[in-house]
Structure 1
Amino acid sequence: MATSLPANVHVSTHPCLAGKLSQLRSSSTNARDFRTLVHDIATILGCEALAQNLTVVEKGTDTSPLGYTYATKTTSPAQIALVPILRSGLSMQTAIEALLPTQPTVHHLGMYREKTTLQPVEYYNNLPYHSASATTAGGTAKPVPDLAIVIDPIIATGSTVCAAIDTLRDWGVPRILTLSVLGSVEGVARAAATWPEGVEMWVGGVDAETDERGMIVPGLGDCGDRLYLTVGK
C-alpha cells in the first residue's frame, strides 16, 4: 500500500510501532492506555523522522567529570517550531519535545472539521505573524523557523493538514515535517501534494479508505474523543 503514496510520504515499518498501533485501534483500550500508546508511537515515529530531517553540528566544548575536554554537539536546524493541531495533537507534543536537544517554540493551531462539508474551520491560531508579539523589543520581526513540525494523530480526508501546511507556508516557513499516528491513503496523498517540495510526511500506518463520515476505515475512532473521554458528546 505504501508504494502507492507520493515520494514525500514515509510510513513507519518499525515492528514495535505496528504492535502498539494495533492495540490503539481496539475499542477496549481505555483513555489512559490510549494516551500512553499515542505517546509511545509518537516517540518511535519522531525518532525515525528526525533522524532523516536533522543533522548534527558541533557548538563548542565542555568538560567531563574526569576533567577531559570534549566537543559538544547539537542538531541543525536550530530554529524549530512545533505546531500541534488542537486538540488531539497535544497528545504527541511531550514525546516530540523530549526528543529534541533544545526546546522548540510551540505554536498551536485550533481546527475542527465541519460535519456536513468535512472542511476545516480554524478557531485558534497563535502563530506570531498576525499579532503584536511578532516583533522584538527593538522593533525587528521575530525569525521564521527553519523547520515547522506539525503534529496531528489522524489524517483522514487530509483537509486539516492541508490547511495547516498552507498557513505555515504563508508565514514563510521553508520546510514542514508532519507527524501522524494514522492516515488514509487518499488523505495522506492529498496533503503531500499540497507542497511536495517543502513537505515531508511521516505516518505510523495507513488505511485504504474513509467512510461517508470522513472517518478512516478501520481506523481507531475519533482520537480526541478517545483521549478526553468525550465520546458521544
Structure 2
Amino acid sequence: MQIHNLSEKNSVLNHFLTQIRDVNVHKDSMRFRRNIERIGEIMAYELSKELDYQDLSVQTPLGTKETTEIKEQIILCSILRAGLQLHLGFLNYFDNAENGFVSAYRHHPNNDADFEILVEYQAIADTTNKYLLIIDPMLATGQSILAVYKKLVEKGTPKDIHIAVVIAAPEGIAFLEENLPDNCHLWIAATDEKLNDQSYIVPGLGDAGDLAYGAKL
C-alpha cells in the first residue's frame, strides 16, 4: 500500500484542519461541514496527479487544443454518514464520477469496549477496471475501511483503489498496510498521536458525523 500524507508540507490544508479540530469552531456545524468539504477538494486535486490520463483534442472558438483527460471512470464511495461531506468535496472536482454509499459502524454486543464492524447497506456500481475511491473522515483502527473494502471488491475488480481520510491514527495505518493489497493508495490529510482505550483518535476532533449533522441516538 502506498501512503500519501498531505500535511507533511505546509499548505492551506493545515488551516482547514486546524479549524475542524477547534472546539470553539465546533459550535458552527455549517462551518465544520464546509471545511470538511474543502479538505475533500484539496485531497481530490492531489489524488488526481496519481491517475492515468489520455490525450484528446478540444475545439475552441479559434482553433484546436491538444490536452488530456482522466482515462478511467471514477467511483466515489463514502462510508455513511460521516463520509458524506468529504464525498461532496471530491464530487466537486470529479464531477463525472459514479457514486456509491455503504454503511459501516461499530457494534458493541456486550456494551463494553469490544466491538465488531457491521456493514449493512451498500449501493454501488460495478467497480471493474475503474478507480475506486473509498472516503471516510477518520481512520482509527482501520477495521471499518477493511470491512468496506472486502464488501466492495465483491462487486468487481477495480483498476486502482484509493482510500481518503482526513485524520488517521498510526494503529489504523499499520492495520491497513498489513491487510490491503499493494495497488491501494492511502491518502491522509493528517496523522495523529494514537488511539485511546476506546479506540478513538487522540487528539483527533471528536465524532465527525455528529459535528457535521448533529448527535445521534
Instruction: Tell me, yes or no, whether TM beats 0.5.
Output: yes
- Residue 47 of structure 1 and its aligned partner are, at CA, apart by 1.4
Paired position in structure 1 for 2:189: 204
Paired position in structure 2 for 1:135: none
Paired position in structure 1 for 2:78: 84
| Structure 2 unaligned residues grouped into runs of 5+ | none
Number of residue equivalences: 208
Distance 1:19-1:168 versus aligned 2 partners, 3 A rule = same
Residues 37-95 of structure 1, C-alpha deviations (whole Å, 9 max, x = no match): 111111112211221x2133113x33212x3122353112x222111111111111221
- Residue 113 of structure 1 and its aligned partner are, at CA, apart by 1.2
Distance 1:174-1:71 versus aligned 2 partners, 3 A rule = closer
**Distance in 2 of aligned mates of 1:94 and 1:204:** 16
2:198 is the counterpart of 1:213:
yes
Paired position in structure 2 for 1:191: 176
**Distance in 2 of aligned mates of 1:31 and 1:160:** 25
2:177 is the counterpart of 1:164:
no
Residues 131-165 of structure 1, C-alpha deviations (whole Å, 9 max, x = no match): xxxxxxxxxxx662421000100011111111122
Paired position in structure 2 for 1:223: 208
Structure 2 residue identity aligned to 1:221: G
Match of 1:19 among 4, 15, 19: 15
User: Which range is displaced more, 163-172 or 181-190?
Assistant: 163-172
**Distance in 1 of aligned mates of 2:205 and 2:39:** 14
Paired position in structure 2 for 1:111: 104
Distance 1:143-1:173 versus aligned 2 partners, 3 A rule = closer
The percent of aligned pairs where both chains have the same amino acid is 25
Paired position in structure 1 for 2:52: 55
- Residue 99 of structure 1 and its aligned partner are, at CA, apart by 1.6
TM-score using structure 2 length: 0.88
2:5 is the counterpart of 1:8:
no
Structure 1 residue identity aligned to 2:83: G
Match of 2:69 among 59, 71, 74: 74
Secondary structure of 2:40 counterpart:
helix
Q: Does the CA-based 8 Å contact 1:62-1:72 persist in structure 2?
A: yes
Structure 2 residue identity aligned to 1:50: S
- Residue 19 of structure 1 and its aligned partner are, at CA, apart by 2.2
Q: Which has the larger radius of gyration?
A: 1
Q: Does the CA-based 8 Å contact 2:40-2:88 persist in structure 1?
A: no
Structure 1 residue identity aligned to 2:65: Y
Q: Does the CA-based 8 Å contact 1:81-1:145 persist in structure 2?
A: no
Between structures 1 and 2, the one with greater strand share: 2
Q: Say what the alpha-carbon RMSD is for the aligned residues.
A: 1.9
Paired position in structure 1 for 2:134: 150
Q: Does the CA-based 8 Å contact 2:30-2:212 persist in structure 1?
A: yes
Structure 2 residue identity aligned to 1:71: E
Secondary structure of 1:181 counterpart:
strand
